[in-house]
Structure 1
Amino acid sequence: MTDNSLRITEIFYSLQGESNTVGLPTVFIRLTGCPLRCVYCDTAYAFTGGQRMAITDIIAEVAQYGTRYVTVTGGEPLAQPACLELMTVLADAGYKVSLETSGALDVSGVDSRIIKVMDLKTPSSGELAKNLYENINFIMPDDQIKFVIGNDEDYDWCKALLTEYNLTERCQVLFSPVMGQQHPTDLANKILQDRLPVRFQIQLHKLLWDDARGK
């Protein structure tokens, strides 16, 4: 085991299903392991297992797909310290890299070229206490803060946080419904009624491929 290798669950090519690059062909690097256990998690298969790969081998596999967009995801990617090096190497190679992180681990060391998509955990996630609010200080204008909303309590909590931290002035804010729990139309209507300056999103990959792995 070396510092410049990581445990990888899968590397796959698909359309970006979330964030402000939704719909763009993207290579996803899914790292293994996560310290959280959100009740609605759809990638529990990434908690354990995986294959250890050197960063050079990861880069070589990514290059086969011929796209400039790469998303590093999990699990929780930052649970593996070498994730920081991987993202820097990808950025050095000219890729437009995004990081999907839970917001529970320190993001201060993330290369400034990486787009952070930080998921602050709502009450219904079961992991509200894991939020590291100090991370908000390291969010840049090109980053995104995501809220996965499962019910009215979540929605009200998110609205309060928007005001408390002035989030929409810091970066783009994403509101996403928990599939099968929060009706998307109801959430969309609330956003319009309250005139919230947030981006509503539905997980495109689930509409296209349901819960198929590698999509």
Structure 2
Amino acid sequence: MLSRAARKLASCPSASMGSVGIPRDQRLLGPLLEGPSTPVAYFFLKGRFAFGPSRLSLLRKNLPMNGTMLQSSTTTLWVNEIFYSIQGESTFAGKPCIFIRLAGCNLRCTYCDTTYAFSEGVRMGIEEILNQIRSYPCQLVEVTGGEPLLQHPVLLLLRRLCDLEYTVLLETSGALDIACVDPRVHRIMDLKCPSSGECHRNRFANLEHLTARDEVKFVIGTREDFEWAQSQLQGSWTQRVGAILFSPVFGVLEPAQLAAWILEKGLPVRLQIQLHKFIWGPNVRGV
């Protein structure tokens, strides 16, 4: 049973505490335990996600034997990788970019190309992360995953990056509440199409929070996906958002086919390919 403190987290706390409200139906947040000095949030993901032993052996003392709980303080994050590369997606494609990939995801999309982020990561303090990215000659940073919004301190990280005058991108699945994200951040949010297997997890209320800084991405693997995506291009959100991206599932739908469909229907969308996969190949990590 959840503690009273955990039940109160249905509303959105202050981002200064590194916390974000997570609706009860997303089944992600366990009790908030008030320690001697720092609140500690315990995540339980009910079989959706568990850390493996490969890079997290030092965590075993903090995890139950089944590995289904993740301890996260308000100033540390589970980080899968940090690297410097060329941005391959969004309207920032082609630009040098620093990537901070966080560990853990509550979805299991059929086409996922970063499954290693489900179970690999090390705990890093926010200041440690900031010190590492300062070594790169770049002011564009993307926080991605996995699903970054699963970890409450990401809100503080995003705010700190903005305060340091980085241009900050957040890549999110769209299944979690984006309302508490710093408004200076460019939110790149998915709407999951049917072939993803996670279409039912779309949080359509997020569309009301989008602004001209934000982008919505549809990853399309079939004609059914395309027609579903087309049907979503209704309402005022399409006028507010900065860009609507249609991206083919790499190796499943040819970009030329998706381009033909877009032209056939005359859709006001941007065709996006994953540029990094064409440069370095689809299976290379850290690019």
Task: Count how many residue pairs are aligned between Structure 1 and Structure 2.
Answer: 214
CA distance in 2, matches of 1:110, 1:19: 18
**From 96, 113, 126, the counterpart of 1:25:** 96
What amino acid sits opposite 1:74 in the alignment? G
Which whole-Å CA distance do the structure 1 matches of 2:261 and 2:192 have between them?
19
**Equivalent of residue 160 in structure 2, options 59, 69, 89:** 89
Amino acid at match of 1:213: R
Q: Does 1:136 align with 2:204?
A: no
SS at match of 2:232: helix
Deviation at 1:170, TM superposition (A): 2.1
Partner residue, 2:26? none
2:266 matches 1:189: no
Normalising by structure 2, what TM-score? Answer: 0.73
- 1:170 alignment counterpart: 240
Query: Structure 2: which amino acid aligns with 1:175?
Result: F
**1:99 partner SS:** strand
TM-score, normalised relative to structure 1: 0.98
* Matched residue, 1:72: 143
Unaligned runs of 5+ in 2: 1-71
Structure-1 residue corresponding to 2:126: 55
CA distance in structure 2 between the partners assigned to 1:63 and 1:130 by the alignment: 36
Preserved CA contact (<8 Å) 2:86 2:97:
yes
C-alpha distance in structure 2 between counterparts of 1:190 and 1:10, whole Å: 36
Structure-1 residue corresponding to 2:80: 9
C-alpha distance in 1, partners of 2:228/2:236? 14
Which residue in 2 is equivalent to 1:103? 174
Which of 177, 198, 201 aligns to 2:272? It is 201
Residues 146-205 of structure 1, C-alpha deviations (whole Å, 9 max, x = no match) = 000000000000000002x34431211000000111111010011111111100011000
Query: What SS is found at the alignment partner of 2:111?
Result: coil
Query: Does 1:36 find its partner at 2:107?
Result: yes
Equivalent pair of 1:122/1:154 in contact (CA under 8 Å): yes
Any idea what SS the aligned residue of 2:188 has?
strand
Q: CA separation in 1, counterparts of 2:120 and 2:269?
A: 36
Q: Give the aligned partner of residue 218 of structure 2.
A: 147
Question: What is the CA deviation profile of residues 11-65 of structure 1, one whole-angstrom value per residue up to 9, with x for unaligned ones?
Answer: 0000000000001000000000000000000000000130000000000111100
- Unaligned runs of at least 5 residues, structure 1: none
Higher RCO (CA < 8 A, seq sep 6+): 1
Point out the more displaced range, 101-110 or 190-199: 190-199
| 3-state SS, counterpart of residue 133 of structure 2 | helix
1:119 aligns with 190
Q: Which has the larger radius of gyration?
A: 2
Q: Equivalents in 1 of 2:246, 2:91: separation in Å?
A: 12
Deviation at 1:142, TM superposition (A): 1.4
Deviation at 1:72, TM superposition (A): 0.2
Q: Does 1:212 align with 2:284?
A: yes
Cα distance in 1, alignment partners of residues 236 and 264 from structure 2: 20
